[in-house]
Amino acid sequence: MGVTRREFLLISGAMGAGLALSTLGVDMLPVVAYAEGLGKIDKVKSAKETYSLCYHCAVTCGLVCSTDTKTGKVFNIEGDPDNPINEGSLCAKGAASFQMSARNEHRLTRVLYRKPGGDKWEVKTWDWALTRIARNIKAVRDKEFITRNAKGQVVNRVEALSHMGSSKLDNEECWMITTAMRALGLVYLDHQARVCHGPSVASLAESLGRGSMTNHPIDIGNSDCVIVMGGNAAEAHPITFKWAMRAKDKGAKIIHVDPRFTRTSAMADHHAFLRAGTDIAFVGGMIKYILDNNKYFEEYVRNYTNASCILDEKFSFKDGLFAGYDPVTRKYDKSTWVFKLDANGVPEKDPTFQNPRCVLQMMKAHYARYDLEKVSSITGTPVEDLKTIYEVYSSTGVKDKAGVILYALGWTQHTVGVQNIRSFTIVQLLLGNIGIAGGGVAALRGQPNVQGSTDQAILTHILPGYLKTPVASLSTLDEYLAKNTPKTKEPQSANWYQNTPKYMVSILKTWFGDKATKDNGFAYSYLPKIDDGQDTTLLDMVDKMYAGQIKGFTCVGQNPACSNPNAGKTRKALANLDWMVHINIFDNETASFWKGPGMDPKKVKTEVFLLPAAAQMEKAGSMSNTGRWLQWKYVAEKPPGDALAMGDILYRLVLKLKDLYKKEKGTFADPILDLQWNYADAKGMYDSTAVAKAMNGYFLEDVTVGDKSFKKGECVPGFSYLQADGKTSCGIWIHCGSFTQDGTNLIARRKKDDPTGLGLYPEWAWAWPMNRRILYNRASVDENGQPWDPKRAVLKWVDGKWVGDIPDGPWPPLADKEKGKLPFIMKPDGVASLFGPGLVDGPFPEHYEPLESPLSKSLISAQLSSPVVRIFTADTDKIAGADPNYPCVCTTYSCTEHWCTGADTRWQSWLTEAMPQAYVEISREFAELRGIKNGEKVKVESVRGKVECVAMVTSRLRPLKVGGEILHQVGITYNYGWLFPKDCGDSANLLTPTAGDPNTGTPEYRAFMVNVTKV
Amino acid sequence: MASGKSIMVDTSRCTACRGCQIACKQWNELPGTKTKQIGTYQNPPDVSAETWKIVRFSEGLKENGKPYWYFFSEQCRHCLEPPCVDAIKGYATDGAVKDEKTGAVLFKPSSKAAPLDEVRTACPYNIPRQDPKTKVFAKCTMCIDRISNNRLPSCVLSCPTNALMFGDRDLIVEMVKKRVEELKKTYPKAKALNPDEVRVIYIVTDDPKKYHEFAVA
């Protein structure tokens, strides 16, 4: 019998490794003749099989699509059993992927247009719509272009155009967006990542050097202790929980700390309740526990972190404020947040940790206040639970134990989001859990390609590959590079970002080709510059739109009318636009805002274009999962009707713009005319491979680097070959190496060898950077390159070379004083930051209350909320803390069965059947207080808005004792909206506040105040 | 020991992601029905001719005051001696069969001659349902078409955590035994439900009635 890949049923993991439960070998049976499915199984066997990827959370599970070879239509989609990440398994959303396909009658298939004041959609042609959109863009751009700012600095930007989205697109499409929008001069350019994991990037980059999840989903299975906090992995990232359960099968403990008892808690060995928005207090207590009880991994902490560095004498912390606070500007002067330097300019250190001004001692002093009783009074978590969890988790601070933290938006979406993540990163560093297998900080990202869309920088503050956005004071490339290329005197620091000039010049060569020359600073002047200190993030964009200062808005695969905080403000802001282009696979509350609740279509002047896009199985390209693995997917069928891939839509739109500017001239046309835009195949269709190669980069001339020679036109096989003199192009340096010199696409690999046995699968797909599967893996070994834990060796120095994962830099171990390098190669000092002075709200995490808090006075300092929190002052931006009208702490979240605002999943009948309508979870005690019965309709109201939904009365929430008082906490999903299904309820984000993390502007969706009453 | 196939449903591993519930609909081309939120994560509220697999949710407080939330991924048990087959056969001799090779219990179109109440009450697990229009009986088929073609049942393929396992009955029975022994160390009440009577064997760690009224026969 022929055995194909699915014909052996292997049981992996705990149930007896590799135990084959026989081949089935059952013959076709007479009884089957009746079965309706019979036709299907035969169809599947003769179908074309295509690999694709799931379109929801960022685990990005593998799918197999079956396409009928006669009709060309997909008729079955299930998990790809060969994909090592999901091994064929899928959660509810993944299993429903078929309903994302063109078989779903709700898919958009025609170009739709609503004229200003119109009350219906009209069907249009692509040519009509794209011509009109290009004209609209050109009109606004030419009229509103800002050549110089108020200071007279050349800025070459346009503020009246804005763009949002999308983490739902492929890498190649994201990169095209970032490219085209920069050529147009946009600075109000942002997407889901801003409101989602923006703080992860800022926080992890400050602590460790890179802003991404350190390990990858499969690696969770290598852990001894999995703590989930600020997240709900079993529900929001179900396939990561596959690996948590795999770890549990091997004896690992699972801990969950959350305002609710969720599906994650149900699987956990230990669960503790806490008040939403008090995570730093909880984790600060753990830091204190680790330091007080000497639970930290001393050798690791001494050699690989800045624990021994001596702080400047003027640095201080007092009653909630760090040194340098200016209450007028509400900003810190950070000049004292620095280390003392020795005569060589290197930080002074005390490796014995005796000096009271060393980071370790200063940290100990900082967290001395976070004792169990204090933490309990802030968080509402019982002292016994604190003790248990601190003890269990800190047991991983030894060489042969690994602990991992899984978090998501429950940490990022706070006004202290960056510091929430920082706090546990400090724990991980103290315990030596960074760089090792089964360890790390697992920033579980929530959108299918949000890692990629962040890498490609559909974000106002960065360029692709985390290079900084140019600002007005840096008027030339030389000034930009001088400012943004870090320097170090630390002898053993690799300081990898010293290569910034190579990466920046190579991007400019990709964007502007021959027009980028050494003489014109590689066309640096073409890039838009924001003013120094100017805020242009998503919340600022909406604020400016609300004020009527933004005229045109393109929005792709994002639903801000439901997903933005204080969504009512966004809905009003959309009505202030002259025009909006929305591109998506289904209609949503943003595209149709003009007919939403409280809107009179006749009075809404916004001209709206709704363009039908291809879904994931209808286009080829790559997506980057939360663990930085880039996987390739293929076309299973054509998009329905007139729908096109986003890549095609943008490709055509930019050609239209180029044509218009060429024929009619216009303001600052050069970046548009000179933009390299050769990303189509012979038939004129978007070619994702061509884009992926441009992103990887080419040699533009024959180049010799060291002993290697390359020919013009070959792909650059790794970023160490990129040049700062214009001889290479590379659209995003961290993708460099995803193609081999001869142009082989490594992203498309499907080999399953696993030489380390740790699930690294080095020949499955490709991971940035340079196929490294575990970041900072040089910290998994001692100074001599020997693994802390030989049973889980990520790397090992053997006979003068590294064995295992791709090392985080090629140099020998640290003990080689000549050539050895420190492990945190992206940090100028080469070590990880326990003390993190790069953030605007403090070098050590400190507990501050949410901007809208139940308390009028902090329980730990004189500062109630973060002294530098980002606040907004439009008439709709109300805050009601410690207000008896809004007595309940409320937090928002998603359920497994829906994705984000439900913009895709609410159109899928299998998912709306499973989770049909909006609900608010309340405790039995609170329900009794309000006389609310389970299943009754209730009103949830904040000072900003109200929603009606169904009460779910449960023992999975409970009142907490906070500051000696009983406090009630409720939770509501943000998965719903008014458009469809009609009776499902409107968005919970009508309630949430416009308040931002001071580092990233990420909103505080997760802790605010409401009242809940019977309807 | 009966040969054929079996499924283990280890509720201690189930995260209630409901991949199985949807994967069943996907493979079997069953519609999403209109439901209402009535104060629970469980929906649809029950199995039906259009829903052959549901995850049941039940919650409460443990003796130590901590919450529990139990998940019960329900489907036809595919009894070794299926009473539903006998009940249907009383009205239509070829209305229901037990497949010889796999042991899967299958309803056929002629089952429509049998009355719902009788067949439903014959089943100790309250599984059989009738299509309201055609009156044909419907339930999980153990993905007979898939397992007859060397593919896992759709629900088992989709399960992320090995809560659902499929294979030769003797191996599954052995696996269930080992798992129960392992679980008993932590959960003294752990047990397999009617393992000698059914092919879809559930493992629970607490009183089965806390999971579902018809969890155990």
Q: What is the DSSP string of A572-614?
A: HHHTT-SEEEEEESS--TTTTGGGSTT--GGG---EEEEEEB-
Beta-bridged to residue A339, according to DSSP, are A311
H/E segment holding residue B170: helix B169-184
SS3 A251: coil
CA angle A307, A311, A312 (to 5 degrees): 170
Go through chain A and tell me how many residues it has. 1015
H-helix segments, B58-108: 83-89
- Residue A275 burial by CB count (10 A; 0-12/13-18/19+): exposed, middle or buried? buried
- Counting DSSP H helices and E strands in chain A, the numbers are 27, 41
Q: Is the ipTM of this complex over 0.95?
A: yes
Alpha-carbon distance of A698 to A675, in angstroms, equals: 17
Give the count of Cβ contacts less than 8 A between chain A and B: 243
Beta-bridged to residue A398, according to DSSP, are none
Alpha-carbon distance of A614 to A640, in angstroms, equals: 8
8 Å CB contact of A245 and B160: yes
Go through chain B and tell me how many residues it has. 217
SS3 A541: helix
Q: Which amino acid is at A1015?
A: V
Contact residues for A349 (Cβ-Cβ < 8 A; gap 6+): A308, A309, A310, A358
8 Å CB contact of A40 and B141: no
Q: Which of residues 29-58 of B touch A (CB under 8 A)?
A: 29, 31-41, 43-44, 51
- Counting DSSP H helices and E strands in chain B, the numbers are 6, 10
217 residues of chain B, pLDDT tens digit each: 469 999 999 999 999 999 999 999 999 999 999 999 999 999 999 999 999 999 999 999 999 999 999 999 999 999 999 999 999 999 999 999 999 999 999 999 999 999 999 999 999 999 999 999 999 999 999 999 999 999 999 999 999 999 999 999 999 999 999 999 999 999 999 999 999 999 999 999 999 999 999 999 9
Q: Which of A19, A239, A915 sits opposite B43 (nearest CB)?
A: A915
Q: Which amino acid is at A333?
A: D
Contact residues for A353 (Cβ-Cβ < 8 A; gap 6+): A302, A307, A308, A360, A361
Alpha-carbon distance of A269 to A478, in angstroms, equals: 56
According to the model, what pLDDT value does residue A39 have?
84
3-state SS string for A202-249: HHHHHHHCCCCCCCCHHHHHHCCEEEEECCCHHHHCHHHHHHHHHHHH
Contact residues for A343 (Cβ-Cβ < 8 A; gap 6+): none
In 10 A of CB A357, how many CB atoms? 17
Alpha-carbon distance of A675 to A184, in angstroms, equals: 10
3-state SS string for A702-770: CEEECCEEECCCCECCCHHHCCCCCCECCCCHHHCCCECCCCCEHHHCECCCCCCCCCCCCCECEECCC
Sheet containing A62-67: order of strands? A48-53, A62-67, A74-79
Q: Which of residues 228-257 of A touch B (CB under 8 A)?
A: 234-235, 238-239, 241-242, 245
Q: Give me A80's structure tokens.
A: 């790809």
From the list A711, A730, A813, A729, the residue with the least C-alpha distance to A768 is: A730
Alpha-carbon distance of A765 to A596, in angstroms, equals: 43
Q: Give me A602's structure tokens.
A: 């006749």
In 10 A of CB A320, how many CB atoms? 19
Q: How far B198 CA lies from chain A's nearest CA (Å)?
A: 18
Alpha-carbon distance of A67 to B30, in angstroms, equals: 19
Q: How far is CA A62 from CA A406, A410, A624, A629, in A?
A: 21, 26, 12, 12
Q: How far is CA A517 from CA A485, A521, A528, A724, A736, in A?
A: 20, 6, 18, 11, 22
Are B214 and B185 in contact by the 8 Å Cβ rule? The answer is: no
From the list A225, A377, A131, A198, the residue with the least C-alpha distance to A870 is: A198
From the list A460, A230, A318, A336, the residue with the least C-alpha distance to A867 is: A318
In 10 A of CB B22, how many CB atoms? 32
Alpha-carbon distance of A498 to A209, in angstroms, equals: 13
Q: How far A975 CA lies from chain B's nearest CA (Å)?
A: 13
Which residues of chain A have a CB within 8 Å of the CB of B26? 76-78, 95-96, 98, 910
Q: Give me A547's structure tokens.
A: 């004020």
Which residues of chain B have a CB within 8 Å of the CB of A11? 162, 165, 167, 175
Beta-bridged to residue A161, according to DSSP, are A552
Render pLDDT for A223-262 as a digit per residue (tens, 0 to 9): 999 999 999 999 999 999 999 999 999 999 999 999 999 9
Q: Which of residues 76-115 of B touch A (CB under 8 A)?
A: 97, 99-102, 106, 108-109
Alpha-carbon distance of A73 to A638, in angstroms, equals: 8
Residue A381 touches partner B, C-beta closer than 8 Å:
no
Which residues of chain A have a CB within 8 Å of the CB of B101? 26-27, 29
Q: B41, B102, B136: best mutation site toward chain A, by most A Cβ within 10 Å?
A: B41
Alpha-carbon distance of B1 to A30, in angstroms, equals: 24
Q: Give me A569's structure tokens.
A: 């403000």
Alpha-carbon distance of A308 to A358, in angstroms, equals: 5
Segments of chain A scoring below 50 in pLDDT: 1-37
Alpha-carbon distance of A230 to A420, in angstroms, equals: 9
Render pLDDT for A945-986 as a digit per residue (tens, 0 to 9): 999 999 999 999 999 999 999 999 999 999 999 999 999 999
8 Å CB contact of B44 and A897: no
8 Å CB contact of A37 and B145: yes
Are B97 and B74 in contact by the 8 Å Cβ rule? The answer is: no
Q: Which of A31, A913, A951 sits opposite B39 (nearest CB)?
A: A951
Q: Which of residues 12-71 of A touch B (CB under 8 A)?
A: 12-16, 19, 21-29, 31-32, 34-38, 40-41, 45
From the list A221, A169, A192, A223, the residue with the least C-alpha distance to A60 is: A169
Alpha-carbon distance of A486 to A492, in angstroms, equals: 15
Q: What is the DSSP letter of A126?
A: H
From the list A692, A505, A557, the residue with the least C-alpha distance to A192 is: A557
From the list A303, A690, A220, the residue with the least C-alpha distance to A492 is: A303
